[in-house]
Amino acid sequence: MSEKTLFSKIIDREVPARIEHEDDHCVAIHDIDPKAPLHLLIIPKKPIPRIEDASADDRTLLGHLFLVAAQLSEKLALDGGFRLIVNNGRDAGEAIPHLHIHMLGGRRLSWPPG
């Protein structure tokens, strides 16, 4: 069995995190190194290493993650907008091999992002 990722440890409550949302399929936590006034990580409980490893069977879960982002934007009054980012691979900035969506908001975001 492979070693648990940091996110799996957070989901299993082995590592503390500031949780903004949790349901049967995912958890949303505040990033410990935020890049915007609001920086959440929306993490599926199913440990998919990266988006390229997702399968057709994961389509409902992947859609759920986006719907959770929309719910969080309402809850947190992100009326001016927000950005969702998924990193895939080292060159994209992936640091933890457990699929997650960065949700940034609370300020005007520039483009291109990096």
Question: Is the link from the previous residue into 37 a cis peptide, with omega within 30 of 0?
Answer: no
Distance CA 29, CA 92 (A): 21
Q: Confirm whether 25 is a catalytic residue.
A: no
Given the residues 25, 39, 100, 102, select the one marked as catalytic: 100
DSSP SS3 for 43: strand
Q: How many Å is the Cα radius of gyration of the chain?
A: 14
Q: Which residues are catalytic?
A: 100
